């Protein structure tokens, strides 16, 4: 498809389990971003990729969170030992260059994570 896709669309897990969330950006977009939206909150930045490298990981809330991107395309966000406060909608976005901001980011539909 032409847009950003994410999988799974919904994920329910038990506290303490690991989860992997996947993002397929728009073809040709070199920049990829992960955000999360907790209930009643705005979108919170997690991590930014330029190609396969992540020059900005400043938003990752703890060392339980990690992300990688391979082939300049697909990215996975991994949350280890999930906690109930990790419950949120995790959104992926991509943009054409990502250099220095000033670009429109296009979002996927999100993955709704519920940690019981």
Partner 1 sequence: DQQVKQNSPSLSVQEGRISILNCDYTNSMFDYFLWYKKYPAEGPTFLISISSIKDKNEDGRFTVFLNKSAKHLSLHIVPSQPGDSAVYFCAASARIGANNLFFGTGTRLTVIP
94 binds partner 1 (CB under 8 A): no
Number of residues binding to partner 1, judged by CB under 8 A: 33
Q: How far is the CB of 66 from partner 1 (least distance, A)?
A: 17
Tell which one of 45, 74, 76, 80 touches partner 1 (CB under 8 A).
45
CB 61 within 8 A of CB 115: no
Long-range contacts of 44-51 (CB under 8 A, 24+ apart): 46/77, 46/90, 47/77, 48/98, 49/75, 50/98, 50/99
Interaction residues for partner 1, span 12-41 (CB under 8 A): 31, 33, 35, 40-41
Q: How many CB atoms lie within 10 A of CB 84?
A: 9
Tell me the window of 14-22, 49-57, 60-68, 74-82 that interacts with partner 1 (CB under 8 A): 49-57
CA Rg value for the chain: 13
DSSP structure class, residue 72: T
Residue with tokens 């992300």: 67
Q: How far is the CB of 107 from partner 1 (least distance, A)?
A: 4
Q: Which residues bind partner 1 (CB under 8 A)?
A: 4, 6, 31, 33, 35, 40-45, 48, 50, 55-56, 58-59, 91, 93, 98-110, 112
């Amino acid at each position: 498809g032409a847009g950003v896709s994410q999988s799974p669309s919904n994920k329910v897990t038990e506290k303490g389990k690991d989860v992997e969330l996947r993002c397929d950006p728009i073809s040709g977009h070199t920049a990829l971003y992960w955000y999360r939206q907790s209930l009643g909150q705005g979108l919170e930045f997690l991590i930014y990729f330029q190609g396969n490298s992540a020059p900005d990981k400043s938003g990752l809330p703890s060392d339980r969170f990690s992300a990688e991107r391979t082939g300049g395309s697909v990215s996975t966000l991994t949350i280890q030992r999930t906690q109930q406060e990790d419950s949120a909608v995790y959104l992926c976005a991509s943009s054409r260059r990502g250099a220095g901001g000033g670009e429109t980011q296009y979002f996927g539909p999100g993955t709704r994570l519920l940690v019981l």
